[in-house]
Chain A
C-alpha cells in the first residue's frame, strides 16, 4: 500500500494548489492538477495498481497512459521521502 510519511511534512491547500513543506529542509513542493488527485488518494488503503485503475476510470484514459504519470509523480514523492510503499 502507498502511505504518506506524515511526520516528515506539513501541508496546506491554497486555491487549487496543494503546498507541501518538507520539515527537514523547509523546502516547498507545489502539487496541482492530476498530481493533487494522486496525492489525495495516497491514504494507506490503495496500492499503485488500484490508484492507476481509479485514475484511468476518472480521466477516461487507458491505464498505460496513466501509469507513466503516476510513476513519475510517485518517484518524486519517494525521492523527497514523504511517500512509502508500492
Chain B
C-alpha cells in the first residue's frame, strides 16, 4: 500500500476542533501544565483549564476552560501538540530551527535560550529561506534519506532578538510569554526537503564549526526536551531501543557543532561564520 505523503498526513491529523476534551488518560488525571502520551492519544493541560487532546485519526480537540489563555493557543499547537501528533504518527520531532540552501535543510539545535530562532532569523535576512522555527519534524521512513517536514514557521523572538535581527514585530506569543511573533525580511522555504546538516549550538570564545563523529553525534541527538520525550513514549523505547534508534540516526545524519560567543557585540561575526559555512556547502 502506498504511503500517505507525510505533509498530507500531518495536515489531516492536526486539524482542530473545539469541544469537550477528556481530562484523564489511562485513568490518570493530567495535572496543570503537564501532559500524558499513551498509545495513540495525547493529552496536555496548559494552565488551569486549557486542554489539548489528540487521538490518531480524530484530530485535535481543544477545550477552553475558565482562565485559558487563548492568545497562547497557536504556540501550544505549533510546538507541543504538533510534536506529539508527529511522534504518534511515526515522525521524529527535533527541538531545532532551520533554514535551507540549494534545496537542503540546515537545522540548528540547542536548548531553549541557545539562540536558535535569532540565528535563523539573521540567516533568513542573509538570503537563506526559513524552513522552521523551534520544531523540526523528520520523516525517517525512507532508509536512504532523512526528509524534513516544513511544519510551522512563525518566528518567535525576544525583544533583544528583534533588535539584533531587525525582524518586524507582530503580536505577543502569549500573555505570560516574553516573546513576539516576528516576520523576517526573507522568503519561506517549501518542503519536504532532505536534511543536509544538523548543527549543535554551543558557546565559546571564538566562532568555529567542528564536524562531529561517533559518540558525539549520538550524544548530540540525545536531548532532554519534551519533543524527545514524546517520541520515546510514542515508540515505547526502553534505554537500549532508544540507543539503537539514536545510533541509526547518527549514522544517517551529518552533524557539526557551531561554537560562538554569546556576546551581542559579536553576534554579526557569528552570523557571518554561519553564512560562510552553509554557503560553502555544495549542492548534492
Contact = CB atoms under 8 A, between A and B. Distances in A.
A42 B215 CA distance: 21
Nearest to B247: A12
Interface of B: 213-219, 239-240, 243-244, 247, 250-251
A76 to B, nearest CB: 15
A67 B218 CA distance: 31
23 contacts: A10-B243, A10-B244, A12-B244, A14-B213, A14-B215, A14-B217, A14-B218, A14-B247, A14-B250, A14-B251, A17-B214, A17-B215, A21-B239, A21-B240, A21-B243, A23-B239, A26-B239, A28-B215, A28-B218, A28-B219, A30-B214, A30-B216, A32-B214
A29 B218 CA distance: 11
Interface residues of A, number: 14
Contacts, number: 40
A15 B239 contact: no
A77 interface: no
Given A14-B217, A17-B214, A19-B218, 11 more contacts: A12-B244, A14-B215, A15-B214, A16-B214, A17-B215, A19-B247, A21-B243, A23-B239, A29-B215, A30-B216, A32-B214
Nearest to A25: B239
A5 to B, nearest CB: 14
Given A19-B247, A28-B219, A10 B240 contact: yes
B38 to A, nearest CB: 23
Contacts of A32: 214
A78 B240 CA distance: 21
B213 A17 contact: yes
